[in-house]
Amino acid sequence: MIKTLKKLLTNWAVHFLIAWAAIIAFTLIPYLYHVHIWGNYIYNADGSAVSGWQYALNIKQDLFVVGLFIFLAEVVRQFLFKKYHFIVFIAGCLFAGIISFAGLYVLRPYVLEQQGKLSAIEPILYIAVYAFVYTIVRDYYHQNKNRKALRIQQSENELHALKAQLNPHFLFNALNYLYGTALKEKAPDTAQGIDLMSDMMRYTIYGMHENFVSLSDELKFIENYLQLQQVRLPEKDSIKVSTQVVSDGRLYQIAPLLLLPFIENAFKYGISMDIPCEIEVKVIATDHVLHLEVFNTIVQNRAEVKGNNTGIKNAVKRLELLYRGNYKLVQKNTGSDYKVSLSLKLNV
């Protein structure tokens, strides 16, 4: 209850100060304009001209009524709106108008004597309409703010979930590659692969906690991955792998492991020990734009390859979440080969 009252008083104080400033502005500006154009027309008892500040402070009695109806408007918004039937809310607005007019009548009892009792209806309706409109607009603003905050939170949660899927997926695949190499070789290639894997695991552990990382670190990771793949592959004329990773050296930022699924997909579906196959990977970052091109032949009827392209789907989803309107992705599958072309605007 104390927390609710504190919130009510805080909202009332802010609302009142804004209303007070607005009233002074709308009262003072026309008066100063009139004085500037036509000269002063209001004087003090001693014959001196009324200053703008004196004119503005002349409404200090009315501020009591303003404070009263603003307080009642906040009460209606906090305790009646969306908590009871809409009719109750409207009745509360009218009640706020009646109570506020009663306060005005206490300060200026001659108003009814001069203008008649029906003159009370107009200010009551004005105050009731103000309370109604204020509550609706304030609620719309808060709903919109909450929806925006919710979308941001959902996007962050989704990104974390996507990262959690990418991290173990890649690590298990890479460990399988190393395991296969260890069985096949007892030579420096395995040691080199383990060293590369160590750097890559370090990057994934620390980099995946950030939404953006240095492009140089990301490209180093890609180079390690490509080198690791080439270490595990046998030297055969039927297997052609060409890579190019180039950057202009600027301090760009990029989402971690964003490019990996497209490259990993090429090695997953494009390598065969029995038939000719080819993979081309180009990563070029220059003039605030990153270009990624990946081409691979598709190995038909690979029984050992299972999956539903989860990595690619997650990468596309991350692109949409983090780079909406700032990327262009084209994927072409002819049945015999697969090509990915990605252009991405980079931030420094």
When comparing pLDDT for 106 and 165, which is higher? Answer: 106
Could you tell me if residue 103 is left (phi over 0), alpha (psi between -120 and 50 degrees) or otherwise beta? Answer: alpha
State how far Cα 310 lies from the chain centre.
Answer: 25
What is the per-residue pLDDT across 118-156, written as a single tens digit (0 to 9) for each? 566 777 888 889 889 988 998 888 888 877 876 776 677
CA gap 179, 173 in Å, rounded: 10
CA gap 218, 190 in Å, rounded: 23
- Confidence bin at 80 (pLDDT 50/70/90): confident
- Give the amino acid at 301: N
| Average pLDDT for 156-172 | 63
Q: Where in the chain is the domain with CATH 3.30.565.10?
A: 185-345
- Confidence bin at 49 (pLDDT 50/70/90): confident
Question: Rounded to whole angstroms, what are the CA distances from 56 to 50, 51, 87, 103, 275?
Answer: 10, 9, 38, 21, 90
CA gap 311, 309 in Å, rounded: 5
| Average pLDDT for 102-106 | 75
Q: Is the pLDDT of residue 305 over 50?
A: no
Residue 299, beta-bridge partner list: none
Helices of type H across the chain: 2-38, 52-57, 60-79, 86-107, 110-115, 121-184, 188-207, 215-232, 260-270, 310-322
What is the per-residue pLDDT across 244-290, written as a single tens digit (0 to 9) for each? 999 998 999 998 889 999 999 999 888 888 889 999 999 999 999 99
Block residue for tokens 């890649």: 170
Q: Is the pLDDT of residue 315 over 60?
A: yes
- Tell the CATH topology of 185-345: Heat Shock Protein 90 (3.30.565)
What is the per-residue pLDDT across 192-216, written as a single tens digit (0 to 9) for each? 666 777 778 777 766 666 778 999 9
Check residue 244 and give its pLDDT.
95
- Confidence bin at 23 (pLDDT 50/70/90): confident
CB atoms within 10 A of CB 310: 13
Residues 6+ apart with CB under 8 A from 131: 69, 72, 73, 76, 77, 92, 93, 96, 97
